[in-house]
Amino acid sequence: MKKKKFIKVAKEVIDLEIRALVKLKKSINVSFNLAVQHILKCQSKVILCGVGKSGLIANKIASTLSSVGTPAFYLSANDSSHGDLGSISRKDVLILISNSGETNELKNIIQFANRNKIILIGIVSKKNSILYKSADIKLLIPKAIEAGSIVPTSSTTSQLALGDALAIATMKHRKFNKKDFKQIHPAGSLGAQLKTVEDIMLKDNAIPFVSENLKMKDALKVLSSKKLGFLLVRDKKKLTKGIITDGELRRFSQKNQNFHNIPVKKIMTKNPIGIDKNELAAKALSLMNNKKITSLCVYEKKNKSKTIGVLHIHNILQSNIT
């Protein structure tokens, strides 16, 4: 096959799958609402099961549901008949996925669900199948042409899209937000991008505070010990009044060699830039880039004069935030 034909084949496959998704979109009806409602009312967990390619899709949907606040897991159809049916309880919701709806490995699970009155949602393509007839809620995948005619392609794409729709519908109803997402995704690039300023800021003794009347010769000792490259100046009420960076200090010392006895308030830059502790750390990085600075004061509840932490660009970069 010539290389140009590869591109043609790719476009044909994608066109077939797009047509399948258009059919699926038109087929969505009240059964979808019922499925979402049962998932939301589930008192335990949502269990997904399938065989072959449908099993892979079931595994992915279970992962997506869990990621957006619905406890779910994948059950191997092969293992279920060898003891794993015991992991299904009457408080669960069972979602079985099968293109034909006649897969032998699913029959034992269907019988178990019906016998124990477990809510069964069937995602299936054939109305006259055992799965369709046995399911409490029937989500019918419209018949579509498979790309290549041999392996499931358009049908599995539709299964996956329907599973994503279930997951996002439940997510939106629960008002699952970025903070919720961060709680169950603390690691990885997604977790890093959802970290807040409070998650990575320096606080307590790590903050390089100095009194506004402190002489520079003593302030230099604090600057050296904290190793952050800046000092925060505050008054007797512990309200932040200004900032002194090592760069500013170097420039000032070149013009004023006898600066050691000058109080820090004479040198500081007033009203240092700050950010609320609840903002995303990624926003803090953007602010630093825009202002061409390397550190921020951290405050809470819009009380910008009360510094509760500091954020250095190194803290952000070490957390893999971009």
What does the pLDDT look like over 248-274, one tens digit per residue? Answer: 778 877 777 777 888 888 888 898 989
Tell me what pLDDT residue 317 has: 84
Closest residue by Cα to residue 61 from 158, 141, 164 = 164
Tell me what pLDDT residue 100 has: 92
Task: Confirm if 47 and 95 have CB atoms less than 8 A apart.
Answer: yes
Domain boundary among 143, 176, 209: 176
What sections of 177-280 are H helices per DSSP? 178-184, 188-193, 197-200, 216-226, 246-255
- Residue 247 pLDDT level (bands cut at 50, 70, 90): confident
Average pLDDT of every residue of the chain: 89
Q: How many residues does the chain have?
A: 322
b/e string for 190-205 if b means 16 or more Cβ within 10 A? ebbbbbbbbbbbbeee
Is this structure's pTM higher than 0.75?
Answer: no
Please give the C-alpha separations between residue 130 and each of 102, 106, 108, 127, 175, in angstroms, as whole numbers: 6, 9, 11, 9, 36
193, two tokens: 């991008």
Q: Can you tell me the distance from the alpha carbon of 161 to that of 102, in angstroms, rounded to the nearest whole number?
A: 22
Is 314 in the same domain as 280? Answer: yes
Tell me what pLDDT residue 148 has: 83
Antiparallel, parallel or unpaired: β 295-299 and 93-98: unpaired
Is 77 in the same domain as 123? Answer: yes
Residue 152 located in a structural domain: yes
CATH of the domain at 211: 3.10.580.10
Tokens 């009155």 map to which residue? 117
Q: 8: number of CA atoms within 13 Å, CB side? A: 5
pLDDT in tens, 138-177: 999 999 999 988 889 999 999 999 999 999 999 999 998 7
Q: Can you tell me the distance from the alpha carbon of 44 to that of 93, in angstroms, rounded to the nearest whole number?
A: 8
Tell me what pLDDT residue 189 has: 67
Residue 227 confidence (pLDDT) above 80: yes
Residue 222 confidence (pLDDT) above 80: yes
The mean per-residue pLDDT over the stretch 31-45 comes to 96
Domain boundary among 126, 145, 176: 176
Domain coverage including residue 38: 3-176
Q: Is the dihedral of CA 137, 143, 145, 149 positive or negative?
A: positive
Is 202 in the same domain as 105? Answer: no
Residue 190 located in a structural domain: no
Is 49 in the same domain as 157? Answer: yes
Q: Which stretch of 57-71, 125-139, 174-188, 290-304 has the lowest confidence by average pLDDT?
A: 174-188
Number of helices (H), then strands (E), in the chain = 14, 12
Three-class SS state of 80: helix
pLDDT in tens, 49-69: 998 999 999 999 999 999 898
Residue 292 confidence (pLDDT) above 80: yes
Q: Is the dihedral of CA 28, 50, 176, 188 positive or negative?
A: negative
